[in-house]
Amino acid sequence: MQKNLYLGLFIIIIIFSWLVLPSSAKVADWALEFDGIDDYFLVPDSVSLDITEAISIELWVKVDIQNEVYTSFIAKEDAYDIGYYRDTGKIWFEFYIGTHVYLDSIGTINDGSWHHIVCTYNKEKMKIYIDGSLDNTDAQTASISTSVYPLSIGAWKNSSFTHFFNGSIDEPRIYSRTLSATEVKQHYKGAFHDEAGLVGLWHFDEGSGLIANDSSDYGNNGSIVGANWTAKAKPTSVHLKVLAEVYEKVPEQAKPAIENAMKVSAKGH
């Protein structure tokens, strides 16, 4: 009974805060939509993206029906990547140490909805998080290899382009440190308190043109080839901050019941 009460109050707060915010606090949220045939986003090779000791890779992704068995979300060939298995609906996290080291997810993301993915490594553990929760982990201790290849999103770039992804990607981020489980959950809810180690952040909110800018301090701007802008309505960080603060005050036993409401609010879906 009490849990339902908190859930109801939280939903009311979501609706109220969305309605009372001025129109200037509501913005068009864009993502890049890839066709699974020949679309990609490409960032030139940069020393800032050669991460060997600790890394976190984060993005929102919505999967459509894939043309290829293996498709790539984000990759730096011979260094690190995250991709998707068409036949199982699972994802992989991989890095290169002279040989390829893989960790597959337990959960699946093939339901046509947006999902928040974070993969981390710190020379002790590889971890995959899906929608704010730890999904799978594995022990590893090697350093990640550096690479002369560019960073690609929506395809895999080595000597040519392969593993084209069919679906939408938003807000990819790369950190040269390991995000904690608490930070992952905060990011899933739209709250970002510590951006130390951020070396790449592409909001994909330009909405037009063939360039997407890097919002980190490293200027890793990228080129869009074929991918289309897709628009959504989303509450801004002002709205998300209100919800995050309210959520933190909710009793622990009631929090699981409002996780889905937080997810919907964070992505505007």
Please report, as a single letter, which amino acid is at residue 112: G
Cα dist. 230→31, 62, 220, 235, 264 in Å? 5, 12, 22, 16, 18
Residue 14's closest CA among 235, 248, 249, 237? Answer: 235
CA dist 68 and 70 (Å) reads 5
Residue 59 is predicted with a pLDDT of 98
CA dist 156 and 164 (Å) reads 7
Instruction: Give the start-to-end residue ranges of the domains of the chain.
Output: 1-21+237-269, 26-235
Which bin fits 209, alpha (ψ -120 to 50), beta or left (φ > 0)?
left
Residue 236 is predicted with a pLDDT of 47
Residue 245 is predicted with a pLDDT of 63
Give me Rg for the CA atoms of the chain. 18
CA dist 142 and 146 (Å) reads 13
Residue 237 is predicted with a pLDDT of 47
Ranges of the chain whose pLDDT falls below 70? 1-28, 232-250, 253-269
CATH architecture assignment, domain 26-235: Sandwich (2.60)
Say which residues have a Cβ less than 8 Å from residue 25's Cβ, sequence separation at least 6.
235, 236, 238, 239
CA dihedral angle for residue 248, residue 254, residue 255, residue 257, rounded to 10 degrees? -140
* High-pLDDT (> 70) share of the chain, %: 76
Residue 252 is predicted with a pLDDT of 72
Show contacts of 246-250: CB within 8 Å, 24+ apart: 246/10, 246/13, 247/10, 247/189, 250/6, 250/10
CA dist 261 and 264 (Å) reads 5
Query: What are 225's strand-pairing partners?
Result: 40
CA dist 145 and 21 (Å) reads 47
Residue 235 is predicted with a pLDDT of 45
- Strand 198-201 versus strand 100-104 pairing type: unpaired
pTM: 0.80
Question: How high is the mean pLDDT of the chain?
Answer: 87
User: Are the C-beta atoms of residues 109 and 122 closer than 8 Å to each other?
Assistant: no
Residue 224 is predicted with a pLDDT of 98
